[in-house]
Structure 1
């Protein structure tokens, strides 16, 4: 058992305080005036539909987790390719992720009518109610993730499990969080966009009734979808990134300190706990940042956006200051400053990605206004301009992340120690996500403000209230878009860290394999005709693994994996967009049926059958999410069994690169289309019901599955594939190995050249089984005698020289 430094306790303290303030904010929101009976009734319809969906989703998720748990138990207890605690870690990861989504959605469905009622008093009060409700989601996600991580670390350390095994076991519960995130985000995305597209196509385009009109049967389902997709789904998505970045960095820290040599051994636990401490500090400072959100009554969109952004700026700045002291106190003098700079780079990267996303999606800026202008010419030009904006918008986030990665690598001494460079990249991801309590609050603010506007519209609140909720909704659309950009950027950095952490899981799989065979495992890392070298798997560096598995574009196994990985996000997106199209078609049929068969809907004398639309979206979401989820989970396993570790790393590399760019494009194009429509609704280019407005409604409808289904699910996909690879690393390793017994040093036994790339073993009771490196001097093969010819280097002789002469 390692002695845990006192600073580590900041992690559980941050978790407890985050959960405590989440509870405070929840009861503050609940205590607000719920509004008129009609407002309460509308909110009740939404709340009922949201929990009906969540109940159905959790039934399916429970079945999946139960089956997966049994499979992992078989792999651990019978096949012995997993640590016995991994199946339990998998369960807790999924449970806490689901719980965070439930709490967030419970608060959001209570907040919509209260936000609308608060707007009848003042804009500032409406802003505070919506943001405090969003803060419940942000702080709950942070608190539950840190509690889960802290509890596992404390218990595993107390029972005496070595640090290296602790980090490996804890990494595995990321698959539980990833799987829950995919189901929540994908199911919620299909649900909300099926309802949204159906409501827009029939309600706004065909029937000519406004958005969020109570006469539209799909309106309640649309509002339900905002909560299940953008609150519960986003919460699960960022829970996965947050936990994954901390755990991957802890594992890389253990690898880094091992490679630095014996004189740094005393820092082992410090390298592991440092990301947890930073996350704990981030949780505490996020609470302060939340209290900074306020505005004045006549604030425009930019001023409202700044009111929210200043909480992020404050939290980022104070975390940066705290990071200096954390790294200085925990890490060696030679390395702490480089890691500190990596944290600052991560914080800056998160802020920059949010800013670039705002520039490309807010109607305060030129790209979105250009889409609105194209509405004068019809839907086709709106769609073309939106796709162009989305494609162009990939440049800034990609360059930002690339520069962030290389700078973090350089400052963390990556060119002298690969492991330290990767540790710095991991800390960049942790730094970016350390502000999650605030950034996720901003993201959840969006759907809450949207639902508040819908409630005000359906409850026939005065026009000035609707104007104030529209102001919040417009800002909410931008925060939702920037939140998705932040989620995608953080996913890229997290997946990069997980890519390196995968090799640590390969090491763990090889150690388990050796234990199963009662053998010490060695990695052949060097061979020449007169020399033979093998390194103990426990001491092998990441570079040793890269060399051993030939992670290079010249290796066909790796290259095939890259192509497959790059294809998966596109195929996955195709399935999700088609799923929305099929479900939306059923919704359109149902809305048309009600308009034609239920008298009194269009004149408002009869309520539509809201439940039937909720039921259609629920059933479609549960059915349509199965195939994409299977692909995301199965591809790394199948490729691993066929192409081995090199193939898996290729898949992860390809999916990360292609998935990141595609997700940014889909997210920004969809957000820009949405806000172009809202820009016209402010009165530009003819305002509502104009030709330009109808054209941008079509663009917004196309963009809905882009920004709320396919785009957000891709960043979960790339993390899920990494997590699946991590959990199945032991299985893949055991099925893709050739093993030979290590020749005892000094035996003069000549190894076969064709077998130089093999795992080697020695019996554990052999005297040299625990050595770091074993070197065998072998007899050099006899040199062939070469007949040399003297060739005069003059022109006449060279003309008559044969090819053999020239070679000689």
Structure 2
């Protein structure tokens, strides 16, 4: 490593004095206050009117389906949690206490991630009908308030549990906290990825199936109660966009803090264990303010009101972070206890550098909000241009959306890259300081996470509200228009939060990339005191510090990028297969029960919900194994350098792919809304049919594969950090150790191959010769 790099081996010797322990306790208290506020907001949402009897009946069916799915999903995921808990106990650790703490807090991180997802879903399925009722009786502003405070509840639980969990670890383990937190972050990320993939498959299979048979073939409205897939579609919004995204943002929160504390303990000593906690604690306070001040003014769009609340929160965060930096941090690097005496001369005041890094993250969140809104908003030219292409058919509509996604990915990822590089430059000649400042930029971005979660949950709640209103038939035209507006706003806010989640993932993965380097270098330094010869250690260090053009590193780079493509393909293919099953089921019901179209018979909603549940749970294992085992195959099989290349390839390709998928899908969805509002021929026109087809392509893009890439790259980075000491230990061992290393790689590869073979058994184009499309029968 560079001469100015500070090793993490000193971290375990750090101890926290009384003042620092008091500050961390204060962070834990803020976490508890956030949880209490979440309970208060939840009660406010529940206190709103629940609508007519028919609306409550539909909402009850959605709630029942969502709860049933999550219960079955959690039963499935318990197996993975128990297995990983045991495996973590076999990985090297500084002490038995750290080993057991890492495994124990892995379980806690998984439980917290699952709890956040469940809380988000359980309130959303109650809030949707209340938003519909507000639009029906009291107007748009109340609907905006209920939907946003539903998200605010989830936001408060996200920051509350995140702060509380991390603060407890630091209070209990002090200097060993970073190693224990690796388990906490891994648990949160692993569960979030499974919930993201499973929920994404469920929601988009139902959505695609409902649109293809209902809108395209039968020519009935999107949420027509005659369509057996409508309830499953609305259930999917909650288990995918609410439960899945809430868990995703929580793990972003947890993993970012993990990376910041690992690097902070090396760069800033004890200050580095405390300052990264103060920043998100400030964010929790400003989120509380942002949630309560977000109200739509007269003649103001709901999106403008939400954006204003976000910007005000960001400004308050910047001001309070300035105070925290200058009141808490020392004025020189010498006071931090760093080993490099030239750092002060090179990069100046650590308070200024730390603050600039935090502000870079806050600014990045604001820029991404504007950039995503520009590319996916219904009132912005890019989406309007995509909508115009519907007049020339589905092909041009799809091509224009792909073009928009590819172009926007370049600009957004370039922006993220600029922020990462600027943050790194703040560290001067010290690699560790530069990486820590990148992590602090991520913490700065996370000061807005409470409002971000509120923005995200706003989308599916509004979407469900519109569906309930249409299915019940109990709302007038004015209320229906209000709900259509809120649904369009929700599409944009969901796209914005996906963009910010991607930025968080890249920042966290970059910081974890540095943590991975420190993990193996600190292991080498520990082994230097043992029986391995110095020549062998020197040869190992020379091998892994070779240039990027080394074939093994380039092979790792290619494999990392390839995993992102394979993961995305598996997720989209799972939606394709599940959606095909739903299409056939809905067609069968239309064929065998003619009274459904006449309105005299009720569709079998439960059968479609069951298909979605079954298919999503059976197809989430392979993507999960791909994320967890590919770093094992590359690391133990090809070595430390190849694994570093693997992580770099996954981060770079994952960032571009995630933005491309999210923005293409968001633009297609909102372009469809533009057509349905009456432009380019309106509903029932050829342009509308083209828009529906394009939107069904975009559904698995933006709500299944795209968002799942965020936890994917963090899971792979965390796995790399966790296994790095074992790779080094076995690589420097005797011939028996080499056999163990190769055996681990081969077993992991065999498990992956078997999982992929099983996953590809399903026929993408399921056929049923007894049925014919509804449109042809008509």
Q: Deviations over 1:231-254 (max 9, x none)?
A: 110111111111111111111112
Task: Indicate if the aligned counterparts of 1:9 and 1:277 stay in contact, CA closer than 8 A.
Answer: no
Equivalent in the alignment of 1:329: 327
Structure-2 separation of matches of 1:373 and 1:466: 24
Q: 2:377 aligns with which of 356, 362, 366?
A: 362
Moved more, 49-58 or 329-338: 329-338
Deviation at 1:526, TM superposition (A): 7.9
Q: Deviations over 1:589-632 (max 9, x none)?
A: 00001111123211222221111000000000011111111111
Equivalent in the alignment of 1:533: none
Aligned in 2, Cα 1:504/1:101: closer, same or farther, shift over 3 Å?
Answer: same
Q: 1:429 aligns with which of 420, 442, 447?
A: 442
Deviation at 1:353, TM superposition (A): 1.1
Task: Indicate if the aligned counterparts of 1:76 and 1:82 stay in contact, CA closer than 8 A.
Answer: no
Task: Indicate if the aligned counterparts of 1:368 and 1:676 stay in contact, CA closer than 8 A.
Answer: yes
Task: State the SS of the aligned residue for 1:211.
Answer: coil
Structure-2 separation of matches of 1:622 and 1:148: 28
Structure-1 separation of matches of 2:566 and 2:330: 46
Aligned in 2, Cα 1:326/1:627: closer, same or farther, shift over 3 Å?
Answer: same
Equivalent in the alignment of 2:49: 33
Q: 2:395 aligns with which of 352, 360, 380?
A: 380
Q: Deviations over 1:188-239 (max 9, x none)?
A: 0000010000000000000011011111100000000001111110111111
Aligned in 2, Cα 1:643/1:424: closer, same or farther, shift over 3 Å?
Answer: same
Q: 2:197 aligns with which of 182, 186, 192?
A: 186
Equivalent in the alignment of 1:173: 184
Task: Indicate if the aligned counterparts of 1:193 and 1:705 stay in contact, CA closer than 8 A.
Answer: yes
Establish whether residue 498 from structure 1 lines up as the match of residue 512 from structure 2. Answer: yes
Equivalent in the alignment of 1:401: 416
Aligned in 2, Cα 1:455/1:551: closer, same or farther, shift over 3 Å?
Answer: farther
Q: Deviations over 1:726-752 (max 9, x none)?
A: 222222222222589xxxxxxxxxxxx
Structure-2 separation of matches of 1:551 and 1:624: 40
Deviation at 1:13, TM superposition (A): 2.3
Q: 1:441 aligns with which of 454, 458, 480?
A: 454
Structure-1 separation of matches of 2:429 and 2:25: 32
Task: State the SS of the aligned residue for 1:629.
Answer: helix
Aligned pairs for 1:618-633 within 5 A: 618-633=613-628
Equivalent in the alignment of 1:313: 311
Establish whether residue 92 from structure 1 lines up as the match of residue 108 from structure 2. Answer: yes
Q: Larger radius of gyration, structure 1 or 2?
A: 1
Establish whether residue 673 from structure 1 lines up as the match of residue 668 from structure 2. Answer: yes
Task: Indicate if the aligned counterparts of 1:510 and 1:521 stay in contact, CA closer than 8 A.
Answer: no
Structure-1 separation of matches of 2:253 and 2:489: 25
Aligned in 2, Cα 1:520/1:327: closer, same or farther, shift over 3 Å?
Answer: farther
Q: Deviations over 1:449-468 (max 9, x none)?
A: 00011111111121211111
Structure-2 separation of matches of 1:69 and 1:526: 34
Deviation at 1:81, TM superposition (A): 13
Q: Deviations over 1:526-573 (max 9, x none)?
A: 89xxxxxxxxxxxxxxxxx98662153122222211111111111111
Kindly report structure 1 stretches of 4+ aligned residues shifted beyond 4 Å: 76-82, 507-515, 519-527, 545-548
Deviation at 1:297, TM superposition (A): 5.2
Give unmatched runs, 5+ long, in structure 2. Answer: 1-14, 332-348, 736-778
Deviation at 1:86, TM superposition (A): 1.5
Deviation at 1:75, TM superposition (A): 3.7
Q: Deviations over 1:472-514 (max 9, x none)?
A: 1110010011111111111111111111111232245457767
Q: 2:725 aligns with which of 725, 730, 737?
A: 730
Structure-2 separation of matches of 1:551 and 1:323: 40
Establish whether residue 211 from structure 1 lines up as the match of residue 228 from structure 2. Answer: no
Establish whether residue 202 from structure 1 lines up as the match of residue 213 from structure 2. Answer: yes
Structure-2 separation of matches of 1:521 and 1:52: 58
Aligned in 2, Cα 1:548/1:84: closer, same or farther, shift over 3 Å?
Answer: farther
Equivalent in the alignment of 1:750: none
Q: 2:243 aligns with which of 232, 251, 259?
A: 232
| Superposition RMSD in Å | 2.2
Task: Indicate if the aligned counterparts of 1:82 and 1:509 stay in contact, CA closer than 8 A.
Answer: no
Q: Deviations over 1:365-386 (max 9, x none)?
A: 1111111111111101101111
Q: State the TM-score, normalized to the length of structure 2.
A: 0.87
Q: State the TM-score, normalized to the length of structure 1.
A: 0.84
Structure-1 separation of matches of 2:659 and 2:537: 40
Structure-1 separation of matches of 2:287 and 2:453: 10
Aligned in 2, Cα 1:25/1:324: closer, same or farther, shift over 3 Å?
Answer: same
Total equivalences in the alignment: 700
Task: Indicate if the aligned counterparts of 2:210 and 2:230 stay in contact, CA closer than 8 A.
Answer: yes
Aligned pairs for 1:214-363 within 5 A: 214-257=225-268, 268-296=269-297, 298-299=299-300, 303-333=301-331, 334-363=349-378
Aligned pairs for 1:159-170 within 5 A: 163=175, 165-170=176-181
Give unmatched runs, 5+ long, in structure 1. Answer: 158-162, 258-267, 528-544, 741-808
Structure-2 separation of matches of 1:451 and 1:522: 64
